[in-house]
Amino acid sequence: MVPFTVFYSDDTPAGAGLDDARLLTLIRFEERTPAQSDPRAVTVALAELGGTRTAEIWRSTRPVRIGVRAGIHHASDGEALFLHLRLDEYALDALQPLTAIVYRRLSAVAGALGYPYFLRIWHYFPRINQEYQGVERYRAFCAGRYQALEAELTAFETQLPAASAIGTDSPGLQLYALAAKEPGVQIENPRQVSAFHYPPQYGRRSPSFSRAVLKNWGEGHEHLYISGTASIVGHASQHGDLLPQLAETLANLEALLAEADRRAMTPLELTLLKIYVRPNLDPAPLRDRIVQTFGANVPLLFLRADICRQELLLEIEGLATSGNHPRDNAS
């Protein structure tokens, strides 16, 4: 049985839904980030586009245990662990050491709780493309992440989680993650150089993430956690305009899904997509093209955000899931 489902829902007043004993997390996207006392409640400081208010809900099939450990909020159901924390930056040049500290603390807490394998990690922090002392903040973040993961992982290039790093207007480093008791399978995109093999022009340390992670939860249930995907072929950004970048991004997603489907035990279907779009860009034509590619039944969430490369205008992440029917390998 798959331990949890993920879906979008019309947002409800703060606190609603938190009385559900099987709620793993409730994620809201708002420009303001109110304090939350429940470890399962997360607010990301990004504005939703289109005039709607949407909540992202992770609901378990089992009762959920919650707590706070070493400043990290966590919720678990015996198979999956959700973790969340936010830390203030104590100086302009603190992002690299802060990221390394956060990762070490996250790994220690997840390991102590019995979920040592990270499947997916989300990162949000301000001024992602700004330089300080000649180093772009995203590249400083990448150096801190590499510093921690290189020390933690026994097989660095085959154990990396899927990930996104997105720019917000809210201060501090915010991170939430999904971990499990057993590892997933790292999936790379045949159209792209693996991010951890990027050449030095993209920073002293390459980004340490996989393009996706395929997790078999048993009984034919699989999840594909899709990293932030953009208009990159090989290792180079492509196109300067929004719609050509979208077309390349969708081609990358289709290639990644095909590669994952080849590795999966059961056919995969997109469950939802999250689209990050730079400020002052119209998401309407994006929606039409995405629907043409993946159909009208895939829920879409559009958020205003900054992207990890200055020249990129959008990034798409998502989740694909399998059903109950194994492949007919004889066909």
Coil/strand/helix, residue 43 = strand
| Among 56, 79, 259, 315, the one annotated catalytic | 315
**110/60 Cα distance (integer angstroms):** 18
Q: Is 315 a catalytic residue?
A: yes
Residues 215, 119 contacting (CB under 8 angstroms): yes
Where are the alpha helices (H) located in the chain, listed in sequence order?
95-112, 137-152, 242-263, 284-294
* Integer Cα distance of 48 and 266 in angstroms: 33
Contact of 203 with 142, CB cutoff 8 Å? yes
Specify the pairing of strand 212-218 against strand 221-229: antiparallel
| Strand duo 268-277 + 300-304: pairing | parallel
CB 280 within 8 A of CB 22: no
Q: Which residues are catalytic?
A: 315
